[in-house]
Amino acid sequence: METIDLLRNIWYLLIGVLLAGYAILDGFDLGIGTLMPFLAKSEKDKRYLYNSIGPFWDGNEVWLLTGGGALFAAFPHAYATVFSGFYLALMLVLFALIFRAVSLEYWHHSTENKKLWEWTFIIGSFLPALLFGVALGNVVVGVPLDSHMEFTGSFFTLLRPFPLIIGLLGLVAILQHGLTYAILKTEGDLQKRARSLLNTIWLAFIVLFLLSFVAAIIWLPFAIKSILGWVFAVVALIAWFLIKYYAKAEQDGKAFFMSSLLFAALWGIVGAVHFPNLVRAIDEANSITVANGSSSQLTLTVMLIIAIIGMPLVIFYTAYIYRAFKGKVVLDEEGY
């Protein structure tokens, strides 16, 4: 294997790790936000949920920015095609994340518009939770690209059955992740509601997981030939089963860990069946791959050196913050 091919493969893996890390870390607070109307029955419940993600949500989004920056540096053709072709969908996600960030601050300080900021937070959590999966489904199943790697479809091209199924699967995985986190961080009636709702979401996940398998057979028949994809699928199923097992046994930390492992396995499936493609084209000849979509060897080398220095710092910071704020959420005497 030539040096540049090795570098391309390393960057494919690194970007996958960054995106999987983002899904695991930001997934639970997107889930908390989306489920707020179903979990919180009082202002005190809402404060518990807001405070459970308060120290983490902004740091979690660093992983998305890092993943996007890595994609831009390592595979600029894929970055340009995705961000121009999926422009409207990605702008919806961007504005949702911006308003979600604003709403987290304003909800705590606003007295007159508290309900408005609460719903801004809910919608700002729901849209990314759904649209990230839809975008991923399109990248995997294939989009119309011309010979210049330019997207030739429209917004409605993205709303096809396979991407929508993957979008719903991703949404339900995020909701499940949020519930395992809520169970881990809360107590009392709020925790009981989360446990009860987890039973429903847990079943919804396996239905959509099996539906996505059927959809893959129809639209991606080559995917079932991936041995590594099957390995990750088995890991995902084991993790899914153990989520319920540990939640029922009230081993809440292990249930949350299994939900995280499930997310990692789902990304493993995608990476295994999608490689070496970055953006699959309906006409396979126009697909953007690690070979035709990468930067130069010099760029990949310099970026790898930066990643070797920078990624341990990000991981250390993330681990430190989670360790510092571990345990159940406790409100002060004034309910904050």
Q: Which two tokens stand for residue 19?
A: 């995106």
Cα dihedral 49→99→63→237 (10° resolution):
60
233-282 per-position pLDDT tens digit: 999 999 999 999 999 999 999 999 999 999 999 999 999 999 999 999 99
63-100 per-position pLDDT tens digit: 988 999 999 999 999 999 998 888 888 899 999 999 99
Note the pTM of the prediction, 2 decimals. Answer: 0.95
Is the Cβ–Cβ distance between 176 and 263 less than 8 Å? no
- Cα–Cα distance for residue pair 72/32, rounded to 1 Å: 30
**Cβ count near 324 (within 10 Å):** 8
249-261 per-position pLDDT tens digit: 999 999 999 999 9
Assign 226 a pLDDT band (cuts: 50, 70, 90): very high
Name the DSSP letter for residue 151: B
Quickly tell me which residue has 């199943």 as its tokens.
141
Q: Which two tokens stand for residue 121?
A: 């937070």
Assign 324 a pLDDT band (cuts: 50, 70, 90): confident
List domains and CATH numbers for the chain: 3-324 (1.20.1630.10)
Least Cα distance to 140 among 229, 69, 74 occurs for 229
Average pLDDT of the segment spanning 22-36: 94
Is the Cβ–Cβ distance between 197 and 32 less than 8 Å? no
